């Protein structure tokens, strides 16, 4: 159990890290009707980012469509840098999707189900059998629950976690009293315990994690790697800096091509 002083320091670190999220463009051109940034409790989760209104489903491409899932207190705008790199690699905007959601809700009871509906919508719209998932921070827990317990394993080819609290982070205790997502991120939480019971990387999905030894939000730093995944340490980067780091981007893109 953390002392009061440790909790206050953890809260300060968490707030500073989240406030320092890069101010990147939303890249929301061509959003279908009804798309929203953060899904409210009663909102539908089938709004698709990245496809023009009324676009018809085409034949499945050789490359999987990619779904980004942002982290706590963030929004789809954080993916601007990586989206640009992927477009330079040949991805079309119609292959890149961003799941926007309310990050203060339960991973297992609410968010993984909304992600499942979103992925189903992407697959219908693109004609793809499977998608690739790239998640940052808290989004790693949402995507893992979808794959392991939400029926997502047959529909996901590659899964990438950037700075995910995959084994929990003690920093989350700072806001756990009033925020469900923070409780889900604490070490030993119901979500963390179940995700790491048995096979941490189930199904035929290919898994990769990227983590920093200088991450001020994920404590301990080695909470990110998973047994059965390709686990890559990056440079001495802060939590949100992995989103715009060139070597990290190159590693993610190489894994997606593998």
Whether residue 237 has pLDDT greater than 50: yes
For 254, residues 6+ apart whose C-beta sits below 8 A from its C-beta are: none
Nearest Cα residue to 141 out of 93, 88, 180: 180
Contact yes or no for 163/219 (Cβ under 8 A): no
Contact yes or no for 211/194 (Cβ under 8 A): no
The CB-side HSE value for 84 (13 A sphere, CA atoms) comes to: 11
More confident: 194 or 32: 194
Average pLDDT of the segment spanning 246-258 = 97
- CA quadruple 212, 216, 220, 223: dihedral sign: negative
Residue 5 DSSP one-character state: H
Render pLDDT for 29-84 as a digit per residue (tens, 0 to 9).
233 322 323 333 333 333 454 443 333 334 434 799 999 999 999 999 999 999 99
* pLDDT-wise least confident of 43-47, 221-225, 235-239: 43-47
* pLDDT value at residue 69: 98
More confident: 4 or 165: 165
Whether residue 161 has pLDDT greater than 60: yes
Average pLDDT of the segment spanning 234-255 = 98
Contact yes or no for 126/58 (Cβ under 8 A): yes
Average pLDDT of the segment spanning 149-156 = 98
Residue 62 C-alpha from the chain's centroid: 23
Residue 189 DSSP one-character state: -
Q: What is the mean pLDDT of the chain?
A: 83
∠ CA 211-217-223, nearest 5°, is 45
Whole-number CA gyration radius for the chain: 17
* pLDDT-wise least confident of 13-22, 69-78, 101-110, 218-227: 13-22
Average pLDDT of the segment spanning 158-166 = 98
Cis link prior to 220 (omega < 30° from 0)?
Answer: yes
* pLDDT value at residue 62: 78
For 1, residues 6+ apart whose C-beta sits below 8 A from its C-beta are: none
CATH architecture of 4-51+61-257: 3-Layer(aba) Sandwich (3.40)
Contact yes or no for 109/180 (Cβ under 8 A): no
Render pLDDT for 86-145 as a digit per residue (tens, 0 to 9).
999 999 999 999 999 999 999 999 999 999 999 999 999 999 999 999 999 999 999 999
């Amino acid at each position: 159990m953390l002392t009061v002083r440790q909790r206050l320091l953890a809260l300060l670190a968490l707030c500073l890290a989240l406030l320092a999220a890069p101010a990147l463009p939303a890249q929301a051109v061509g959003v279908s009707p009804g798309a929203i940034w953060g899904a409210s409790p009663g909102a539908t989760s089938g709004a698709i980012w990245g496809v023009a209104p009324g676009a018809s489903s085409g034949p499945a491409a050789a490359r999987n469509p990619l779904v980004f899932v942002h982290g706590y207190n963030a929004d789809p705008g954080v993916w601007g840098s990586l989206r640009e790199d992927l477009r330079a690699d040949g991805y079309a905007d119609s292959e890149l999707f961003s799941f926007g959601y309310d990050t203060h809700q339960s991973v297992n009871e609410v968010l993984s189900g909304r992600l499942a509906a979103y992925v189903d919508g992407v697959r219908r719209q693109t004609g793809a059998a499977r998608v690739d998932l790239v998640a940052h921070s808290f989004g790693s827990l949402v995507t893992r629950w979808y794959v392991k317990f939400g029926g997502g394993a047959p529909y996901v080819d590659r899964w990438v976690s950037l700075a995910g609290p995959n084994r929990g982070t003690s920093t989350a205790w700072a806001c756990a009293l009033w925020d469900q997502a923070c409780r889900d991120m604490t070490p030993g939480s119901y979500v963390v315990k179940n995700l790491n019971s048995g096979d941490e990387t189930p199904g035929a999905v290919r898994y990769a994690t990227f983590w920093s030894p200088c991450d001020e939000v994920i404590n301990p730093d080695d909470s990110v790697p998973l047994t059965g995944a390709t686990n890559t340490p990056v440079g001495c980067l802060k939590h949100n800096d992995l989103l715009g780091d060139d070597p990290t981007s190159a590693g993610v893109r190489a894994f997606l091509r593998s």
